[in-house]
């Protein structure tokens, strides 16, 4: 059996971090099993679906490196839904309902007021053909519900949550088609999963009750359901569900300088028993992917943790991977020199400015000014073709008796304008003899 997963967003808005996690988990599992990862655009809501969101979804997946092995659009599959719809009506599993939204809302309020669960009472099943005809003559058009079979419990073994059991009598028969003929999510999704040979449905735990209804839909269509895996939902760093998570998308992360590998590394592991590690190659993450390691507790998404992971990812990126984002002229040697001090690739430009100059003149006290004047003279006599930093500091240590911070810090300040930064042994050759002499002379003046 070839494993097939699918990521099925609705192009009614931009993807947020929860959507991105779902896409990542589906991609990782497919890769772990040598299977296929599909993109399915659930665009049956014609009024809200927009092509700009379709393009944004494709761009976001491309940025993450999650290349689908195929793409489908529900809007191109309406004939398939219509055929299954007719078959289910004939089989008595779909039935028309004529209540208005206001009438349904009133019934729900009455039930809640009595302390009862707001379950649809199946009143439409009692309508005679004449009564239905009379309602339609008034201009009412039916919406359609899937009739759940109440004779047996709904059960399945969830890859994350374990064995699940639902009483169908405690669930409202779900609406699958609106009065205007448009489709809701549940039934088209099942039809697609059957036709696309989807073997595993990986999604958030907020879909568990939907799955209960869909298990019966698969059976009504003569198909076995796929394996379901419902992952715990994300929470914010404050430990509770956060509206902010609904607004964090790829554009936000790109603006913050987050590498796609960092986002994948974090979202692949939070909510599991595995540690979050700065793994650059997502296929390495796929090799260790296992639903058995996912927990039931909410998965805590912390942007501070993401930033820390990002820095460790950046420290591993080769020059070729970032060259198009570096300042003009910044080669591999300079990148490797400054890389250990970066949290984001964009920060490289600041250190390139330090190398190329000009730099902001540092504040130098009188004692250090004399020392730096000595350093400028010593710098004219050292060998700049080998290891100029250790040659310079060695000569100054012998000449002045300085050591430790007193020896190194004034030099760093004079040469870079910064009190900390990359290893000066790698930075000084990049600054070069002429710029270094000019900076030491200016600081010692």
Tens-place pLDDT, residues 200-212: 999 999 999 999 9
Residues of the chain with CATH 3.90.800.10: 90-152+168-177
What average pLDDT does the structure give for the chain?
95
Mind giving me the DSSP string for 142-175? -EEEE---TTS-EEEEETTTEEEEE-GGGSPPPE
Preceding omega of 358 cis (within 30 degrees of 0): yes
Find out whether 282 and 28 touch, Cβ atoms under 8 Å: yes
CATH number of 90-152+168-177: 3.90.800.10
Of 293, 414, 302, the C-alpha closest to 359 is 414
First to last CA, the chain: 77
Q: What's the half-sphere exposure (Cβ side, CA atoms, 13 Å) at 133?
A: 3
Q: pLDDT, tens digit, for every residue of 342-374?
A: 999 999 999 999 999 999 988 899 999 999 999
CA distance 61 to 56: 9
Task: Please check the confidence at residue 9 and state whether its pLDDT lies above 70.
Answer: yes
Q: Rounded distance, CA 404 to CA 411, Å?
A: 12
Determine the Cα–Cα distance for residues 382 and 304; give it in Å rounded to an integer.
44
Verdict on whether the full-model pTM lies above 0.85: yes
> pLDDT digit string (tens) for 131-145?
999 999 999 999 999
Pairing label, strands 162-166, 227-231: unpaired
pLDDT at position 234 is 92
- For residue 185, give both structure tokens: 């999510």
pLDDT of residue 362: 84
Q: Would you state the pLDDT for residue 295?
A: 95
Tokens of 348: 């490289």
pLDDT at 232: 94
Annotated binding-site positions: 243
The whole-number average pLDDT for the span 104-114 is 94
What percent of the chain is modeled with pLDDT above 70?
Answer: 99
Relative orientation angle of helices 433-444 and 405-416, to the nearest 10 degrees:
110
- Position 242 pLDDT exceeds 70: no
State pLDDT tens for residues 372-389.
999 999 999 999 999 999
CA distances from 422 to 179, 295, 314, 333, 425 (A): 66, 40, 15, 12, 9
Q: Please report which helix (H) or strand (E) contains residue 354, including its range.
A: helix 348-356
Question: What pLDDT, on a 0 to 100 scale, did the predictor assign at position 241?
Answer: 59
Binding residues for ATP are: 243
pLDDT confidence tier of residue 240, bands split at 50, 70 and 90: low
CATH code reported for the domain at 357-444: 1.10.10.350
Please calculate the CA angle 231-173-222 and round it to the nearest 5 degrees.
75
CATH 1.10.10.350, the chain: domain bounds: 357-444
């Amino acid at each position: 059996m070839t494993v097939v997963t699918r990521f099925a967003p609705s192009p009614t808005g931009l993807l947020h971090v929860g959507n991105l996690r779902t896409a990542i988990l589906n991609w990782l599992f497919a890769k772990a099993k040598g299977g296929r990862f599909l993109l399915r655009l659930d665009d049956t809501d014609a009024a809200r679906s927009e092509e700009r969101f379709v393009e944004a979804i494709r761009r976001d997946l491309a940025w993450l490196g999650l290349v689908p092995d195929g793409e489908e659009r529900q809007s191109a599959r309406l004939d398939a839904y219509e055929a299954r719809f007719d078959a289910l009506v004939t089989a008595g599993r779909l039935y028309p309902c004529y209540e208005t939204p206001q009438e349904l809302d009133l019934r729900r309020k009455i039930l809640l007021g009595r302390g009862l669960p707001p379950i649809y009472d199946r009143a439409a099943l009692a309508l005679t053909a004449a009564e239905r005809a009379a309602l339609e003559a008034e201009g009412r058009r039916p919406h359609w519900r899937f009739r759940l079979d109440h004779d047996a419990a709904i059960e399945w073994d969830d890859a994350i949550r374990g064995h699940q059991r639902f009483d169908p009598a405690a669930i409202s028969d779900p609406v699958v088609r609106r009065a205007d003929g448009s489709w809701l999510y549940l039934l088209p999704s099942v039809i697609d999963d059957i036709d696309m040979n989807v073997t595993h449905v990986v999604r958030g735990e907020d879909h568990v009750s939907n799955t209960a209804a869909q298990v019966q839909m698969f059976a009504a269509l003569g198909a076995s359901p796929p394996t379901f895996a419902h992952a715990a939902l994300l929470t914010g760093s404050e430990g509770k569900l956060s509206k902010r998570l609904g607004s964090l998308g790829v554009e936000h992360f790109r603006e913050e300088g987050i590498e796609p590998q960092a986002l994948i590394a974090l979202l692949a592991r939070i909510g599991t028993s595995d540690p979050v590690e700065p793994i650059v190659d997502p296929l390495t993450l796929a090799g260790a992917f296992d639903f058995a390691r996912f927990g039931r507790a909410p998965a805590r998404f912390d942007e501070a943790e993401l930033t820390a992971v990002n820095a460790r990812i950046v420290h591993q990126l080769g020059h070729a991977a970032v060259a198009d984002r570096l300042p003009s002229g910044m080669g591999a040697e300079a990148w490797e020199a400054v890389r250990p001090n970066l949290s984001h690739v964009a920060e490289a430009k600041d250190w390139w400015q330090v190398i190329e100059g000009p730099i902001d003149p540092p504040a130098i006290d009188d004692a250090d000014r004399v020392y730096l004047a000595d350093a400028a003279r010593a710098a004219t006599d050292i060998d700049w073709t080998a290891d100029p930093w250790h040659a310079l500091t060695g000569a100054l240590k012998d000449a002045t008796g300085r050591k430790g911070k007193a020896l190194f810090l004034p030099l760093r300040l004079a040469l870079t304008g910064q009190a900390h930064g990359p290893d000066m042994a790698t930075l000084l050759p990049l600054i070069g003899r002429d710029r270094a002499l000019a900076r030491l002379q200016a600081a010692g003046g």
